[in-house]
Amino acid sequence: MAKFAVVATYEIAPEKIADFLPLLFAHRDRCLAQEPGTLRFEVLQPDHNLMLYEVYEDEAAFQAHREGPLVARFREEAAAIERRLTFVTCRLLDGLPL
């Protein structure tokens, strides 16, 4: 089964990024440590937004992540910081597509 990737963008006010990043990094660390299907979780900063690059064992692992307690905890912790999240999901290709 193909690995599954997510490229996400958080639109967030520049003055709120310093408050949001510690929450996001703590969330990343918990996901990598506690979710066996979460293989990679990178935080990027282009311009004034934040981007995430996440890789999961498969789509089921991503769904388990998205619906699991760690995402619920992160949403609760970051509830006071206004932000907008958009994302694209992808299959990771490790050779020529068929």
Overall pTM > 0.75: yes
**Structural domain that includes position 60:** 6-91
Q: Look at residue 96 and tell me if it is in a domain.
A: no
CB-based contact 9:43 (threshold 8 Å)? no
d(CA 82, CA 12) in angstroms, rounded, equals 7
Residue 1 located in a structural domain: no
Residue 29 confidence (pLDDT) above 80:
yes
Inside any domain, residue 14: yes
Instruction: Please give the pLDDT value at position 96.
Output: 63
Domain total of the chain: 1
Q: Report if residue 98 sits inside a domain.
A: no
Residue-level pLDDT at 78: 97
Q: Decide if 66 is inside a domain.
A: yes
CATH classification at residue 84: 3.30.70.100
Q: Is residue 83 part of a domain?
A: yes
Residue 17 lies in a domain: yes
* Amino acid 44: pLDDT: 97
